Amino acid sequence: MSASVRFRNIYTQFPGGKHKVLTLSYDDGKIPDRRLVSILNEHGIRGTFNLNSGLENNSFDVAYNERIPMAEFTDLYKGHEVACHTATHPTIARTPREQMILQVIEDRRALERIMGYTVRGLAYPNGSVDDNVVDALKACGIRYGRTVNSTHGFGMPGDFLRWDPTCHHADPALFDLADQFIDNHKTQYLYMFYLWGHSYEFERDNNWNIIEKFSKKIENKSDIWYATNIEIVDYLDAASRVQVSVDADFAYNPNSQSVWIEVDKKTIELKGGETTEL
């Protein structure tokens, strides 16, 4: 005699059983990154810095356009993610394929040599992306690409190689969106707030108060996961590999890292390499 079928509500959660994530993405690696990183560190906010490895010795007109010396990358960006922004920042969708691939793979190679970890993310320089660029990125082992198209929403992206941010920091809707995100306690979906920009814009536009106010508002929330871009991608990839029995009475996590799931409204941590009873 067989037991009757059991339907259970099982959902992927973020680490610690959370359902909201905040991540930032800042481009070009100019000198004001130092001040931006120190503000983020003070508030426990984390992000991804998209860097051009071929522009270190570029000439600059004003001080805020000078690039951070590559020898400083490891210390400065500790606790954040370093990702590609191509070697010399061309508009890649207009670039011959061979040059496009060289720009991406050379940036990746140079950044990996400095950082000592695999670099698998990218922000499209000048927001330039099309199907050919996405194909080239896949061939270069790049797992996600960030666009410059604001969604004003909190949904998870359908395609990480066309990852649209929530908004730019100078967006007039920024603080309304932040309030909506903080006040959102619905748990039917996973929710993401994704902020992007360039640190030199704070210096140029004399508006560092925006990121200071935003950081104070959104820091230290027990239901928000503060993550870099690649941590989100890697975590969801790991979650997608979890194997749940048809009867939903046990789950096997084949990853080395833990994955959290909600089973009939209860949070369960699935430890890496283990089978867990649900």
Nearest to 134 by CA among 175, 176, 163: 163
**27 is a site residue for Zn ion (CB under 5 A):** yes
Matching residue, tokens 């000078």: 66
Name the one range near Zn ion by CB under 5 A: 21-29, 161-169, 210-218, 267-275. 21-29
Task: Quote the least distance from Cβ 86 to Zn ion, whole Å.
Answer: 9
For Zn ion, which is the closer residue by CB, 27 or 164?
A: 27
Sign of CA dihedral 232, 234, 236, 239: negative
For Zn ion, which is the closer residue by CB, 28 or 171?
A: 28
For Zn ion, which is the closer residue by CB, 37 or 224?
A: 37
| 66 three-class SS | coil
When binding is defined by CB under 5 A, the residue of 13, 21, 28, 214 that contacts Zn ion is 28
For Zn ion, which is the closer residue by CB, 27 or 203?
A: 27
Angstrom distance (rounded) from CA 31 to CA 68: 5
Beta strands in 39-187 (DSSP E): 47-51, 81-84, 121-123, 144-146, 167-168
For Zn ion, which is the closer residue by CB, 27 or 171?
A: 27
DSSP code, position 225: E
Binding mask 214-253 for Zn ion (x = CB under 5 A): ----------------------------------------
Residues from 79 through 138 that contact Zn ion (CB under 5 A): 125
Interhelix angle 208-218/33-43, nearest 10 degrees: 20
Q: For binding to Zn ion (CB under 5 A), which residues are involved?
A: 27-28, 125
